[in-house]
Structures are given as structure tokens and as C-alpha cells.
Chains A and B, each alone.
Chain A
């Protein structure tokens, strides 16, 4: 009897400690889940000052870790900023709610091109507000290559043995091989994927390393001649090492967009809409562009960029019609498994 009482008492104590931390909730708040280093902290402060809404800001490092938190319902967020293919996956799984565009009047500052691109993963334009975008291309060191690089096939050139850096991510690696073969980077046919896998295995002796964020440092330091990189990083590396040149290969490439979405279980939808509207304001978008250095879809913000070189940079703002660019789509669980298995085979070969 006494033991039971003690057990009861402790459980009450533990439970009350939970509720204590839950109760303070409910004021004027907004829960935001974004990539690390993906917003100017000053923007958050300005928003809090102007609206009186307290922003609880959290960061993730990959689409996948974000997805596992959202789908498990571990934390309730009002706004999340995933990439294209992840958004289409979340739409298919009914994790998102449509945004009421009437409450986001500043969306008009987002260029028509980007809404069009968005339709690749958000067919009716209901769920996603474009935030940052870029291309995947080749960064090369002009002093270390014999002639200008302009196609993916150059990454297979034996004269650059041990000088090539590839991205250590399934989709990006397969995108390179698929597009080199003239296929879509959203390919679902096993033969095309098999072929791409074989290409990647053939390429292995030439590759120095599969890397994530070390491309920047390695290229700046001249440790490799050629690397696959995101356009947003290319501008930064060029600033540090003027010998570097960025090119979107002529076969085509991937265009990625990170967009804001509102999860189905969001509790402060109104505040989320206010925040989205705030982010679309050209002066705010400009602040974010300066901080993140990834291309902004906000046309008015782009016009306000003072540095002419950046405003008209073909890296930051390529003329989209000149290139054959494609957005990643969610390919379904089955195809995803094939990709992952093939990728494992490439890495283990």
C-alpha cells in the first residue's frame, strides 16, 4: 500500500513538471523551423518588434531529419522551409495545409518564373511560398584545368583523375549521371538508373572524394580542380579565390527551391501568414539575401541590390530560359528505395 502511494506520488510529480512547462504556451507566438543559418537574425527581431509576435525559432540540417520530426508529430511548428522534393512528399502524405494567399499580399514581389518552377512540386500553387533557390553546377579552378569545363562529361575525363569532388547525396550524384546520359533527373525507369549507376561506378577512380560542405574549402584551397557545388556557395568561393569559375553544364542541371509551407497541425496560422508576408517585403528579402547569399526569388529585392556585379551575375540570377533546368520531384517510396540501393552499391564498389 505504502509503495503504491509512493509510486502514485512520484508519477504525479513527474506529470506536473511536464504540465508546468506546457502551460506558459498559448500567447502570441510563432514556431518556425528553418535550415541552419538561413535567415538574418535581425529580420526576426524586426518582425517581433513590428508585430509583437514572439518567434520561437528552430533549425534543422537535412530535409530528412526535418521530415522525421514533423511526421512523428514530435514538435508542432507553424512554418517550415523544406526543399522541393520534400514538399511534394509532404503534400502526398497530407502533412501540409494550403496557404490563404489573400493574407499574403506581398507575394506579388515573387517573380512569375519561380511560381512556375514551384508548380513542379506544388501543382496548384496552394502550399509553397518560394524563399531561396539556386542551381547545381560545376565549380572549377582555371589554373588547374587545361580548357574551360562546360559539361558533366568533363567529370569523367581521366586527365582529372583524383581532382574531382562529387556531392555526397543520392539525388545530386544521380542527377549528374542521369543528365549526362540525356535522361531526366527525376527518372523512374530502372534501366536508366542502372545505366547511371554504372556511370557513377566508372567515374569512381577519377573522384577524389564525395563531400558535403567541404567542397567550398577544398576548392578555395586549390585541393581539387573540379567540384559539383550549389550556385549560392559558388559566389562565396569566388570571392575568396578569384581563379574559380562556376558553370551550369550545357546538358542541363537541377534547379532547387526551398519554400515556406504551413504544416497541417500548425496552431498559429494567422501569425504564420503575417510572417510570410513580412518575408516577402523587398527590404526584408534583401536583408536575407545579403546574409544567406543564396539567390532570392524576390524580383524587387533583386533590383535593390547595390552591387551591380551581383545583381546581374549569371551565377546568382541565371537567365532561366538559357538552360535546361529541372526541379526534383518526390518519386515515391519504391523508386526512392532503388535510388538508395544503387547509391549504396556505388559507394561500396
Chain B
């Protein structure tokens, strides 16, 4: 009896620590007063102001576009990479896996600064042949693709290893071209890995602050860099409202994902 209630209290504590900050944020997003230490009454004003604030909206747009594009491109690159790695011998494969894992373990600040330096030196070279180059959307996108690829590979590769090569060979024997065999036989089996790789890359990209901070240029902001600039004068409650919306959307998505029927190929 005591054991059971102790278990409950423990779980409760974990949930409390996980969600207390988010709940605080949600409550504050309805606070009419700008300061967190005073309750000025219930209001939807921040939500209305949020959608009228062009800067925040464009930062949100940038964040989503960069996240979608970088996740998409990184997943495609990752998929191609996995197919190629499959053809390598065991030694080659473990070597390449190691190389692709390093950027993931590498501190973000190192990645960020080295990317910035790389872009700057490319800019210098381009400047010599008379092409003007500036940090901006393109450099941020390239950086995000760079740090997303390992995540895509990480979730696709294990799937790839589980595949039975005989199925692919059978398709070839039955007259399918290599590409058709890949598209119709291999790809469907990889799909769960691909989609989880995509989602992973997407969230990493939305989450990123440091790398974006170093590779962004004038006039281009994502949500994380935008929020950071508000530090000196205090973060505006519109941001609380936006974060609340993002949390709710993610929560609903999560519920939906968890309710999809189980993958058919799970049988032994």
C-alpha cells in the first residue's frame, strides 16, 4: 500500500518538474499585466497582438520554412547516404557511421563558429571575383541541413540493417529495374525510419539557437534568435502566447501520432 502510493508520488513529482515551467508559461500568457509578479486579470490580448506583430510572424515563418526545408533535404541526403553505406563493407560502414556521428556529439558552438568561418572565407573568395555575398537565409539553411543529416542517418540506418536483401534481389529477378525495386520494395520498409528521421531533424532545427545565431545575417531572424534579442528589455508576453500555441500544437500532434495503428510489418 505504502509502496504503491510512494510510486504514485514519485511519478507525480517527475511530471510536476517536467511540466511546471510550461504550465507557468501558459498561465502567464493570459496575464493582462506585463510583469510575471502581478496578476492583472485574464486576457486574450497577447494572442491578438501576437498575430499583429509582423516581426514575430516573419520570424515564425522563417523558423518553419528553414525547419521544413532542412529536414526534407537532410532526410533525402541521409537516405541516399544510407543506401550507399549499405553497399560498403563492414569496416567502411563503421568508419562512415563514426564520421557522421561526430557532428552530432560535437558542441554546437564549435559547429556554429566553424560554419560561420567557412561561410566568411567563401564570401572572401567570392568577393574577389566580384560577387557580393552575405550571411542570411541560405547560410542558415545550409547549416541546418548540415547538422540535421546525422540525425536522419541515425534513424534510417538501423531500419536499413533489418531489411532482408533477398526481397530486393527477388524483385530484380522478377524483372523490376533497380530503381523500381528500390521504390516499391525497399522504400516502403524504410518509411518508419524515414519519417522518424524527418521529425527528429525538424525538431532539432526548430530548437536550434547557437548555430543559427552564428550563421544568420542582417534582417533574418528565427524565433529563437528573436526571443534572445529581447533579453535586455524583457521578453514580451506575446512570446508566452506563441510558445503556448506551439506547445498545444505539438501536444495534439503527439496524441495523433500515438493513436495511429501499429505498423503492419511488426510481425515476427
**Interface of chain B, helix or strand or loop or mixed?**
loop
Residues of A contacting B221 in the complex (Cβ-Cβ under 8 angstroms): 58-59
Is the C-beta of A23 less than 8 angstroms from some C-beta in chain B? yes
In the bound assembly, the distance between CA atoms of A72 and B116 in angstroms comes to 10
- A-B CB contact pairs (8 Å), 21 listed: A17-B138, A17-B142, A19-B131, A19-B133, A20-B138, A22-B131, A35-B229, A35-B233, A36-B232, A58-B217, A59-B226, A61-B228, A73-B120, A74-B217, A75-B134, A213-B232, A213-B233, A220-B38, A221-B35, A221-B37, A221-B38
Residues of A contacting B232 in the complex (Cβ-Cβ under 8 angstroms): 35-37, 61-62, 212-213
Residues of A contacting B226 in the complex (Cβ-Cβ under 8 angstroms): 59
Residues of B contacting A292 in the complex (Cβ-Cβ under 8 angstroms): 233
Residues of B contacting A36 in the complex (Cβ-Cβ under 8 angstroms): 228-233
Given the interface contacts A212-B231, A221-B35, does A21 sit within 8 Å of B219 by beta carbon?
no
Is the C-beta of A242 less than 8 angstroms from some C-beta in chain B? no
Is the C-beta of B103 less than 8 angstroms from some C-beta in chain A? no
The distance from the CB of A37 to the nearest CB of chain B, in whole angstroms, is 4
Write the chain A residue with the least CB distance to B120: A74
Q: Which of A25-33, A182-190, A305-313, A321-329 lies at the interface? A: A25-33
Residues of A contacting B266 in the complex (Cβ-Cβ under 8 angstroms): none
Inter-chain contact A21/B138, CB cutoff 8 Å: yes
Is the C-beta of A111 less than 8 angstroms from some C-beta in chain B? no
Residues of A contacting B12 in the complex (Cβ-Cβ under 8 angstroms): none
Residues of A contacting B230 in the complex (Cβ-Cβ under 8 angstroms): 36-37, 61
Write the chain A residue with the least CB distance to B40: A240
Which residue of B36, B116, B229, B236 is within 8 Å of A59 (Cβ)?
B229
Is the C-beta of B218 less than 8 angstroms from some C-beta in chain A? yes
Q: Encode B113-147 as 1/0 by CB contact (under 8 A) with A.
A: 00010001011001000011111111100100000
Residues of A contacting B234 in the complex (Cβ-Cβ under 8 angstroms): 213, 216-217
Given the interface contacts A25-B132, A58-B218, does A240 sit within 8 Å of B35 by beta carbon?
yes
In the bound assembly, the distance between CA atoms of A216 and B38 in angstroms comes to 12
Inter-chain contact B233/A38, CB cutoff 8 Å: yes
Write the chain A residue with the least CB distance to B131: A19
Residues of B contacting A221 in the complex (Cβ-Cβ under 8 angstroms): 35-38
Residues of B contacting A213 in the complex (Cβ-Cβ under 8 angstroms): 231-234
In the bound assembly, the distance between CA atoms of A50 and B148 in angstroms comes to 44
The distance from the CB of B5 to the nearest CB of chain A, in whole angstroms, is 35
**Interface of chain A, helix or strand or loop or mixed?**
mixed
A contact residues, range: 35 or more
Given the interface contacts A22-B134, A75-B218, A213-B234, does A220 sit within 8 Å of B35 by beta carbon?
yes
Is the C-beta of B169 less than 8 angstroms from some C-beta in chain A? no
Which residue of B37, B55, B132 is within 8 Å of A23 (Cβ)?
B132
Residues of B contacting A17 in the complex (Cβ-Cβ under 8 angstroms): 138, 142
The distance from the CB of A239 to the nearest CB of chain B, in whole angstroms, is 10
Is the C-beta of B33 less than 8 angstroms from some C-beta in chain A? yes
Inter-chain contact A72/B120, CB cutoff 8 Å: yes
Which residue of B122, B131, B135 is within 8 Å of A75 (Cβ)?
B135
Residues of A contacting B33 in the complex (Cβ-Cβ under 8 angstroms): 240
Write the chain B residue with the least CB distance to A241: B38
Docked complex: B177-232 residues within 8 A CB-CB of A: 214, 217-221, 226, 228-232
Residues of B contacting A220 in the complex (Cβ-Cβ under 8 angstroms): 35, 37-38
The distance from the CB of A160 to the nearest CB of chain B, in whole angstroms, is 19
